[in-house]
Amino acid sequence: MSDTASPVWFITGCSTGFGRELARLVLDRGWRAVVTARDRARVEDLAQGRDGRALALALDVIDDDDIEAGVAAALKAFGRIDVLVNNAGYGYLASIEEGVAEEIRAQFEANVFGLFAMTRAVLPVMRRQKSGHVINIASVAGFCGFPGSGYYAASKHAVEGFSDSLAKEAAPLGIKVTVVEPGPFRTDWAGRSMTQTASTIPDYAETVASRMATTSKNSGTQAGDPVRAGEAMIALVAEANPPLHLVLGEWGHDAVVKKLKETLAEVESRRQTALDTDYPAGER
């Protein structure tokens, strides 16, 4: 994070959940923040009583004009952007077979292309500063696919790959990158932040339909605390060498570790197959 005593955070998707709690924590520390949502009225309260430190904006990450205007407004108000938090996005549940093309594309517009566009708009600012930190909110689903969330997982896999590449490009410019992968947290993800196409094919009753029902039933009882998640992100940007990946929540941590161990064992078990597909050493 910048050496400035009052760093500027630009946070998308602040109407609920992680974005809202993180914005509140940042502002409560006396720092500056641009807090955004598609409906400005849903974030105006975050700016109340914080004149000169909080800027509430209407911003839809799938609208390039909104993004351009938002970055310009941030620079006019504060002159810099130290931390970009790409939090805006939502979930879409459906079986792969029953997924609706329009719903799939809409989710990718927000979760993937909107995040890409927001990052592209802020990178020139951070390059000029020679400092900054981009935090991309992904999901444990970015590592582990689950029944019923294949399209959501695919969108978060995209964020993972994007973040890995961005980190390598941005590091020499003084810009840090972290992709945050939460497990189940007590946000409204299964309410306002999720759409779904019901699974009606009997063959998916015990996989997709069962998991979708469980997800809705457990909403509001998850172990993950959004406030503690926000505190973890704030602590993260204070580190001299922050991690590229940060998994949040015990369930998420254990699921990712299990998945990575299984993947590593599987890949290593096929090492000879990998070697056999190269030209022989004498023909290279």
* 152 among known catalytic residues: yes
Q: Which of 92, 152, 204, 279 is catalytic?
A: 152
Q: Which residue has the tokens 């105006």?
A: 44
Cβ–Cβ under 8 Å, residues 37 and 58: yes
Distance CA 131, CA 183 (A): 29
Return the residue matching tokens 């940007």: 237
Reading the block at residue 185, the tokens are 């947290």
Phi and psi dihedrals of 179, rounded to 5? -105, 120
Give the integer Cα–Cα distance in Å for 207 and 101: 21
Phi-psi region of 276 (alpha: psi -120 to 50; beta: other; left: phi over 0): alpha
Burial 15-41 (b: 16+ CB within 10 A, else e): bbbbbbbbbbbbbeeebbbbbbbbeee
Give φ, ψ of 117 to 5 degrees: -65, -40
Start-to-end C-alpha separation, the chain: 46
Q: Just list the catalytic residues.
A: 152
